[in-house]
Chain A
Amino acid sequence: QVQLQESGPGLVKPSGTLSLTCAVSGGSISSSNWWSWVRQPPGKGLEWIGEIYHSGSTNYNPSLKSRVTISVDKSKNQFSLKLSSVTAADTAVYYCATSTSSGHQARFDPWGQGTLVTVSS
């Protein structure tokens, strides 16, 4: 069973870049799965950020596309998120998750435990 674990700084300054990594265990990032980032502001709902395939192919949420980069490191069996020009509105719990497919059959199972990132000076 695949397990996911997020890591990265819990505090980022405004206008800075948020950087997180998701370590994949119990399976290979080079499998046929897609690998996603999802965030949840405190007390609010879920927002999909984007996804990546091991080939490097990506899909991003249009509302965040200009600030987001998702990359994969096959040698370390992990994938990463960079979100630039952050503001307080980017404060959220960030989850990594995986889906056996992209497109209409996409469904996220499992999810990582999530990591809270606060944007503040």
Chain B
Amino acid sequence: SYELTQPPSVSVSPGQTASITCSGGKLGDKYACWYQQKPGQSPVLVIYQDSERPSGIPERFSGSNSGNTATLTISGTQAMDEADYYCQAWDSSTVVFGGGTRLTVL
């Protein structure tokens, strides 16, 4: 079965750029999405179709996808961005989620 691999944790200083990766076989041939989940809350879509932002998502969130890796980039990271982030793709008629990355803003 298809797997998406994320680093368990990423740390970033306020105002700096955070990058969270998601790896999977030929992931660049698929579309990747990203979700933000804060404690006790439902996930929120922050990036879809590799690099598109839903309305209401700040411009500091961006995405890319090439080769075997999709990347979520948060520019000028703010304390409010501290959360768990999950990537998602589709393979063989199945939705697959990555294991999640906890972003800590130090």
Contact = CB atoms under 8 A, between A and B. Distances in A.
B43 interface: yes
A59 interface: yes
A109 B46 CA distance: 10
Contact of A106 (B44, B90, B98): B90
A59 B94 contact: yes
Q: How large is the interface on B (under 10, 10 to 19, 20 to 34, 35 or more residues)?
A: 20 to 34
A15 interface: no
Interface of B: 1, 30-31, 33, 35, 42-45, 48-49, 54, 86, 88-90, 93-100
A46 B42 contact: no
B42 A95 contact: yes
Contact of A47 (B1, B93, B97): B97
Interface of A: 36, 45-48, 51, 59, 61-63, 95, 103-114
A36 B30 CA distance: 20
A92 B31 CA distance: 27
Contacts of A110: 42, 45
Contact of B30 (A104, A107, A109): A104
Main secondary structure of the interface of A (DSSP, over half): loop
B94 A107 contact: no
B63 to A, nearest CB: 12
B31 A59 contact: no
Given A46-B88, A46-B100, A106-B95, 9 more contacts: A48-B97, A59-B93, A59-B94, A106-B88, A106-B90, A108-B43, A108-B88, A111-B43, A114-B42
